[in-house]
Amino acid sequence: MSEKPQTDDRRPVPRTASGFADAFAETVLGRNRMIASIAEVYARFGFEPLETPAVEYLDVLGKYLPEADQPDLGVFALRDDDDQWIALRYDLTAPLSRVYAQYAQQLPKPYRRYQIGPVWRREKPGPGRFRQFYQCDFDTVGAPGAAADAEVCAVLAAAFDALGLAGRYEIRVNNRKVLNGILERAGIFEPDRRTTVLRAVDKLDRLGLDGVRDLLGPGRKDPSGDFTRGAELASDQIDRIVGFVSAARENRRAVCDAFAALTEGSADGEAGVAELREIDALLTAMGLGDDAVVFDPSLVRGLAYYTGPVFEGVLTFETTDENGRAVSFGSVAGGGRYDDLVERFTGERVPATGASIGVDRLAAALRALAADGAEAEMGPVVVTVMDKSRLADYQAMATELRGAGIPAEIYLGGGGFRQQMKYADRRRSPAAVIAGEDEFAKGEISIKDLRLGSELAAGIAGREEWRKGRPAQQSVARTALIETIKRILSDD
Amino acid sequence: MSEKPQTDDRRPVPRTASGFADAFAETVLGRNRMIASIAEVYARFGFEPLETPAVEYLDVLGKYLPEADQPDLGVFALRDDDDQWIALRYDLTAPLSRVYAQYAQQLPKPYRRYQIGPVWRREKPGPGRFRQFYQCDFDTVGAPGAAADAEVCAVLAAAFDALGLAGRYEIRVNNRKVLNGILERAGIFEPDRRTTVLRAVDKLDRLGLDGVRDLLGPGRKDPSGDFTRGAELASDQIDRIVGFVSAARENRRAVCDAFAALTEGSADGEAGVAELREIDALLTAMGLGDDAVVFDPSLVRGLAYYTGPVFEGVLTFETTDENGRAVSFGSVAGGGRYDDLVERFTGERVPATGASIGVDRLAAALRALAADGAEAEMGPVVVTVMDKSRLADYQAMATELRGAGIPAEIYLGGGGFRQQMKYADRRRSPAAVIAGEDEFAKGEISIKDLRLGSELAAGIAGREEWRKGRPAQQSVARTALIETIKRILSDD
């Protein structure tokens, strides 16, 4: 819905803060249903919920955002009354590391927790870029083995399955140690150059093999004419990296074999391959085949932070946007192993692994998927008010409906019948109950089928069907209220 | 759990921000269950969800807090990059008024919305006083009649019923217009004196009739010696007010009759009584008798803001705290009609009515109520790791359990059997699955019943029962995993 500013400047203009958005009924209900499904999956895998406050000390949040050169850049921060800086959390990982360090003695170890909630980023607002959004994280802290990493994949797969996305997603896995091994074997040691190479690899999906090759060599000019400097590798180095990103992907085992050949002699690389082999075996034991979880050499996921396996959950279907263009949703979840997050507080390295599902992106995908033929959320049955002196009778009807588990309300606004029907339409009511003087005299009520009207408008039901026995409005005995409404609700 | 500060001052101390709290599994699950129940009731009455962002412009929030003499006092505020002040919302009503003014054209009218979420107050932290807490609001905007007010009572009652509190609560109702009528008839017009009188009336529960009488007259010295100045009313004025607060309360009709006699001749007072009579009739039509909803002359609910009926949801049972003292929970919900909230933005008076349930207080009450004999939240089944080379087999067992809908996990930490059992205990696991070399050789698994252990410890199950057929640990065929665990889970 669009903003409607007031012009009288003695009064505040009713407006949403810049970069923030209001969520109305359909969005909230869709998101909550999704979150409930995901939480159920997390719990099934033994994760327990945690809810940290929105506000943390700034030094506790630390500097995880790459853009955080200044202490309050990227986060909404203010000075508390005792002069300490406090800020809105910008992710759910920093609070987790704080909690683990703070309650180390009381928490079960390993600590498996999930947390679902909004995070805040102080970024320049732009179209579709919001400064508050939901994250849905799960992490296992204190488990060093590949079994915990394999589980991250299994949890993501189960979450997508629970949302009805079976066959429409792919979990991609790589290992930072393998990437390091490849770089080592290619003789690339200088940190900046390593970063440039990883950035190039990360662009395989977008630029293809030739584009990556350019970025590994002298550089690349994009169609707009902009030039990106390359890593200036020697041609044998380029061949090695290109051989890596284009490694056989028939199945996880084939990728592991190719990785093994490419990293032989690098301790880091060999350790990474061994982890991937173990993850492969555990995934198979959990019933996750090569269709659901793939090993992807080009998966990088950010440049710092992760220390071993990295994960990404990708939606593999396309939908069309309102202009008829194909839209691919791509990555809706990501994570990996990070073994030095708690160290900042305690000096002790604690192994941790997990992932985060981006609720809003995933919700958009589910909406797009459901857009064909799906019915919108239905509203309450509206009991119209034809005679103000009969409010108690109308309220009794609404109470009866609610008692039968049917959301219902009496119309509480002003205006006549037409306005009440308009209201019922806006609320997407399946039916309206109408009772005036005549009906009360006869012990009857009229019931208007509003689903039929909207189906006719949407071209779902034909005029035929209407004639065949779904009357748009019918008079029934007052005592037949519940059964009549139930019939309308169950009519598909 | 208590904070455990680090002493090494080169590192940040892991600590929760002052006045904020972490919520662990049991608290989060309890709160979410409660919120889901309440949301279901709100929806049944035709309210639709709204979720506004945590951050609003400060001028949009306005000055609703009585302590807000300075613009950023009472709220967490900061300057955005464009120099506008933004702040964390301190309630859910100010955002509602903003939304209604901003989207007036697109919203259904009346607009019935509910919103559930945290709010933030910048107050001096103290024991049990938190700066972030949940509210659970529902309001009808644009409905002037008493039917909307009657519904507020019905929604509150239905919400308490849904939480299993039937017979343990009371909805109290009064009308600000009646209070004004009484003051008018008593000849009290001066605003400060009116405030002093209402404050005195509000204290009936705590001080009794004599205390109120003192506060209406010269003043009152409390047991500690502190003196509170009184309203210094004449004795006939005092008699009138005391007659009002001690009005007959046998039933709603009797209160209305008493109110009518006391406010006769005051236009405001008579209008208030008429509203209460209409509310009474509608409540009766909705099946809400004098036991569930009472009219309470001494109910004031704050000094400004409300313009007609006011509501309070009170828990009427007592529990004992950890020191064995009786604790009465009192008010856990409140609201009323406020007809000038949107006016601030638009200049137009829009009638609104609603209430808010205090989630955290109510959750505490439910916890106290459930404390006798209730079982704590159960954790996942733990598949122990006796042989690291068998991880895939263990993971397959966990997968099988999850497939049967049973939360399960394999132990991912270090340490031997004892440590794994300690972990299962901390997670409140109902059972542990144990399989070592012997078991694998025989195609068997051992299952340890951990519920029995905790029941024995809690004195719920007797040794008798144990002997009778609930073995603490049993060996079964590997194929009997699910049925054995299910038997343990269903054993009550």
Q: How many helices (H) and strands (E) does chain A have?
A: 18, 18
The pair of structure tokens assigned to B180 is 């004004």
Reported confidence tier of residue B97, pLDDT bands at 50, 70, 90: very high
Q: What is the pLDDT of residue A247?
A: 80
CB contact A29 to B (< 8 Å) = yes
- Using the Cβ of B183 and the Cβ atoms of chain A, whether some distance falls under 8 Å is answered with no
- Tens of pLDDT, residue by residue over B242-285, are 988 888 788 999 999 999 999 999 999 999 999 999 999 999 99
Closest among A86, A40, A83, A79 to A61, alpha carbons compared? A86
DSSP secondary structure code for residue B324 in this structure: S
Q: Residue A15: its chain B contacts at CB < 8 A? A: 57, 60, 98, 102
- Answer yes or no: is pLDDT of B373 > 70: no
CA of B192 vs chain A CAs: smallest distance (Å)? 28
Task: Tell me which residue in A14, A112, A346 faces B409 most closely, judged by beta carbons.
Answer: A112
Give the residues of chain A that fall short of pLDDT 50: 1-7, 64-69, 71, 373, 467
Calpha distance A53→A97 (Å, rounded): 14
Q: What is the pLDDT of residue B457?
A: 63
Q: What is the mean pLDDT of residues B75-85?
A: 90
Task: Tell me if A202 sits within 8 A of A312, measured CB to CB.
Answer: no
- Average of per-residue pLDDT across B129-140: 94
Long-range CB pairs of B57-61 (<8 Å, 24+ gap) are B57/A12, B57/A15, B57/A17, B57/B84, B57/B85, B57/B86, B57/B87, B58/B84, B58/B85, B58/B86, B58/B87, B59/A12, B59/B85, B60/A12, B60/A14, B60/A15, B60/A17, B60/B94, B60/B95, B60/B98, B61/B87, B61/B89, B61/B90, B61/B94
Mean pLDDT computed over B105-116: 94
Residue B134: beta bridge partners? B118
- Chain B nearest-CA residue for A43: B407
Whether a cis peptide bond, with omega within 30° of 0, leads into A110 is yes
A50 in contact with chain B, both atoms CB, cutoff 8 A: yes
- For B362, phi and psi rounded to 5 degrees? -65, -40
- The neighbour count for residue B168, using CB atoms within 10 Å, is 16
B132 neighbors B20 (Cβ within 8 angstroms): yes
Measured between alpha carbons, how far is B132 from B90 in angstroms, rounded to an integer? 9
More confident residue, A36 or B123: A36
Q: Residue B480 corresponds to which tokens in the numbers above?
A: 């009997």
Q: What is the CA radius of gyration of chain A?
A: 29
Q: What number is the average pLDDT over the span B479-487?
A: 94
Spell out the alpha helix ranges (H) of B246-390.
Answer: 252-263, 267-285, 343-346, 359-370
Predicted ipTM of the assembly: 0.88
Interface contact flag, A344 B284, Cβ < 8 Å: no
Bridge partners, A311 (sequence order): A173, A335
Q: How many CB pairs under 8 A join A and B?
A: 311
Q: How far is A455 from chain B (nearest CA, A)?
A: 21
pLDDT 10s digits, A261-301: 999 999 999 999 999 999 999 999 999 999 999 999 989 88
CB-based contact A22 B281, cutoff 8 Å: no
Name B225's Cβ contacts closer than 8 Å, sequence gap at least 6: none
Helix boundaries (H) for A139-223:
146-162, 176-185, 191-202, 204-216
User: What gap in Å lies between CA B150 and CA A68, rounded to an integer?
Assistant: 53
Report the side by side order of strands in the sheet with A444-449: A408-410, A381-383, A431-434, A444-449, A473-477
* B chain contacts of residue A59, beta-carbon cutoff 8 Å: 12
pLDDT digits (tens, 9 = 90+) for A352-399: 999 999 998 898 888 877 765 455 678 999 999 999 899 999 999 999
- Distance from C-alpha of B196 to C-alpha of B214, rounded to nearest angstrom: 12
Tokens of A317: 């279907």
Distance from CA of A152 to the nearest CA of B (A): 12
Rounded Cα gap, residues A130 and A320, in angstroms: 23
Q: Closest Cα to residue B450, out of B476, B470, B478, B480? A: B470
What is the pLDDT at residue A435?
95
pLDDT score, position A320: 73
Q: How confident is the model at residue B4 (pLDDT cuts 50, 70, 90)?
A: very low
Q: Which residues of A touch B112 (CB under 8 A)?
A: 409
pLDDT one-digit tens code per residue, B297-345: 989 887 667 889 999 999 998 877 777 787 778 899 999 999 877 888 9
User: B344: which 2 tokens?
Assistant: 């601030």
Place of tokens 């010269």: B218
How high is the pLDDT of residue A63?
A: 60
B466 has a pLDDT exceeding 80: no
Give the tens place of pLDDT for each residue, B18-35. Answer: 999 999 999 999 999 999
* Interface check B7 vs A, CB under 8 A: no
Q: What is the pLDDT of residue A341?
A: 78
Q: Which residue has the tokens 């409660």?
A: B34
Token pair 């807090």 is at which residue? Answer: B65
Tell whether the model's pLDDT for residue B64 goes beyond 50: no
Contact A475, A485 (CB under 8 A): no
- Per-window interface: A 323-352 vs B, CB < 8 A: 344-347
Place of tokens 């395989």: A204
- Spell out the SS3 assignment of B175-198: EHHHHHHHHHHCCCCCHHHHHHHH
